[in-house]
Amino acid sequence: MKNLRPVGVIGTGKYVPERILNNAELEKMVDTNDEWIVSRTGIRERHIAAPEQATSDLAYEAAIKALDSAGLKAEELDLIVVATITPDTTFPSTACILQERLGAKKAAAFDLGAACSGFVYSLAAATGFIQNGMYNNALVIGADTLSRITDYTDRNTCVLFGDGAGAVVIGEVPEGRGFQSFDLGAEGTGGELLKLPAGGSRLPSSPETLAAKQHFIYMSGREVFKFAVRVMGTATEEVLRKAEMTKEDIDLFIPHQANIRIIQSAMQRLDLSEDRVMINVQKYANTSAASIPLALVEAVEEGRVKEGDRVVMVGFGGGLTWGGTALIW
């Protein structure tokens, strides 16, 4: 990305719903226990949206904080991208719902679906629009309400997911800062391993699909685990190579928060000690597209990201997909 207009993060905000669902409560719902969940995943609790809250409501709360921290008015926004697989409705898009609610009258708005990699995919897309001069700024949000597509009678999946939203405003930054590289990828061959079978044009909603529980997340956990461990390593190495950085340069590594064991395997491969890695999976579980921005925003709030720091973010998810980026804060 040499000689292009430098683009970076100029504002951040996050939101998680108030209600916390902890492992002890899940023990009463399915045949599981705190010891299994913590040792296999690192998750202790997750936040769950209130019945009246949809994805755009979570996204809105994160967005107003991000706009405020960027010192930007909603009317000044050029673009809104919402990474989500749980939009309020198939259409209008969640980004359009948000555009109206924020009063971002001149902003173009669209949703982007790349599951848990969606936030990094969206950052790459929005950065491109700004680099090529089409827009000056963008609000990029990762927001998901996975509780709405989780089967709370299935112990294989229901312990893993939570709800939340993380937002950034991106725009031009001083020379030498901002996004240095992106690495996006997909392996459609693994599409069957992680999916929501019904409700689309292949299998429209019907009494049969409801009865067969096809409106819930289906996942082949062990296979996704192997994919995740592999691409966390390769995608990180690729973004470092493209940014002309080495693993020693990483000041803060922000991985997708799906499973502590996946994060630990990346830490081992990259020789990263805990003080160089952002981990909050224990509090929020896997929040899909919201996971990386929630971790980024929390790191900023905790003072763990300083000006000039080299930050690497890498995610993986349904599709199957992966996305990584290296930036100088």
Q: Which of residues 132-161 bind ligand UT7 (CB under 6 A)?
A: 155-156, 159
Per-residue binding letters, 60-89, with ligand UT7 (x by CB under 6 A): ------------------------------
The nearer residue to ligand UT7, 317 or 324, going by C-beta atoms, is: 317
Q: What is the DSSP letter of 30?
A: S
Cα(322)–Cα(233) distance, integer angstroms: 11
Q: Is 215 a catalytic residue?
A: no
Cα(175)–Cα(71) distance, integer angstroms: 20
Q: What is the DSSP letter of 5?
A: P
Cα(173)–Cα(67) distance, integer angstroms: 16
Taking the CB of residue 198, how many other CB atoms lie within 10 A of it? 18
Among 32, 136, 209, 282, binds ligand UT7 (CB under 6 A): 32
Among 12, 41, 53, 55, binds ligand UT7 (CB under 6 A): 41
Contacts (Cβ under 8 Å, ≥6 apart) of 268: none
The nearer residue to ligand UT7, 141 or 285, going by C-beta atoms, is: 285
Look-up: residue for tokens 């409106």?
Answer: 215
Window contacting ligand UT7 (CB under 6 A); options: 29-37, 121-129, 139-147, 302-310: 29-37
The nearer residue to ligand UT7, 180 or 286, going by C-beta atoms, is: 286
CA torsion 272→275→278→284, rounded to 10°? 120
Q: Which of 96, 137, 158, 256 is catalytic?
A: 256
Strand partners, 109: 80
The CB-of-240 to ligand UT7 minimum distance in angstroms stands at: 22
Q: Which of 116, 137, 158, 259 is catalytic?
A: 116
DSSP letter string, 160-203: TB-EEEEEEEEEE--TT-EEEEEEEEE-GGGGGGEE--SSSSSS
The nearer residue to ligand UT7, 142 or 178, going by C-beta atoms, is: 142
Window contacting ligand UT7 (CB under 6 A); options: 215-223, 266-274, 294-302, 303-311: 215-223
Cα 180 from chain centroid (whole Å): 19
Q: Is 96 a catalytic residue?
A: no
Among 69, 286, 321, 325, binds ligand UT7 (CB under 6 A): 286
Q: Does 224 bind ligand UT7 (CB under 6 A)?
A: yes
**Residue 285 contacts residue 25 (beta carbons within 8 Å):** no
**Residue 257 contacts residue 281 (beta carbons within 8 Å):** yes
Q: Give the interface with ligand UT7 as residue ranges (CB under 6 A).
A: 32, 36-37, 40-41, 116, 155-156, 159, 194, 219, 221-222, 224-225, 228, 258-259, 286, 317
Which residues carry out catalysis? 116, 256, 286
